[in-house]
Structure 1
Amino acid sequence: MTSTYLMWLLFIAVYDFRQRRVPNWLVLAGAFLAFVALALGTAPIEHSWTAALFGAGIGFGFLLLFYTLGVMGAGDVKFAGALGLWVGLSALLPVWLIASLLASLHAVLWLILQRWPVSSRLSLVLFGPSSSAHGNPQPSRIRFIPYAAYLALAAAVWMVWGRQSS
């Protein structure tokens, strides 16, 4: 199941970097696969059902606060819940810290490039497609940081790092 987990994280990261959204079908597929991995005892990060359910609840609930403040998308919140199933409660905090550090670096780079634009291609990668490209000239919320992508990268890093340290 490790390769399935890593493939799911890759799909989430690529989709969020390119589209700045995480589709429900991808979140649900990951949650379903996490349940299967837990049932078969093949989860890539070993933890109990209780830890998985607490991880899902806390992952979803904590990021829901940021969604209600308007600084995070619903896909990020749902992905955090599904990710909690995969990693469990104990790995959730380190994954959040790594993802938040990466997102902070993204924001700093965004601020720098706002002042000194270097490359339109780099801007497209960092800021996502312009809202006019999707026929929506006035988006209700602008999300230039793909937080789910950074959560996915952080989860992959945590899994690899945790395996080497054990």
Structure 2
Amino acid sequence: MNKKDNILKIALELFSNQGYENTSTSLIAKKAAVSEGLIFRHFTNKEGLLTEIMNEGIAKIQPFLNTVINEKDAEKVILKVIELPYKIILSEKEFWKLQINIKSQNSKFKKDFDTNKYLIPVYLKLNQAFSDLKFENPELETQYLFTVLNGLTLSLIELENLNDAKVIINYIQSKYKK
């Protein structure tokens, strides 16, 4: 792993566990075994480092989102949306912990890194799936499922063993299977 990637990895761990505000660039440099100047050379400042982490995280989860967006079968769309929190957290748990921390710490970053921005296409696809399946109120059903999945996401972040989550995911999916 090159130094830049190592800085990103260490910063993600520290930001997600200690919080962005509580993590100094000097601590990141120390843990990454690099000079603080190297961080500034690669990222300009701490905010630039956070922006790079967020952009990489979004790029890494985009393929998961695309599996929903590209799905043609309405029922499969719903089932895939329900699996999203599990799949994404399984592969990018630190990124999601950071998402939660950023929202609670800094209103500027909350606006800059609002997860809803890149979940909008998934939301719209889910709403269309409920409409195609003739649900009584597709918009309300979409909001309901997103609310349930938001709670599931928060729970998954706290779980040590994500395999336990499969039971609840299967239960939620059973509510939408024909």
Decide: shared fold, TM above 0.5.
no
Which structure has the larger Rg over C-alpha atoms? 2
- Higher RCO structure, 1 or 2 (CA under 8 Å, sep 6+): 1
Q: TM-score, normalised to structure 2's length?
A: 0.29
Q: Give the TM-score, by structure 1 length.
A: 0.31
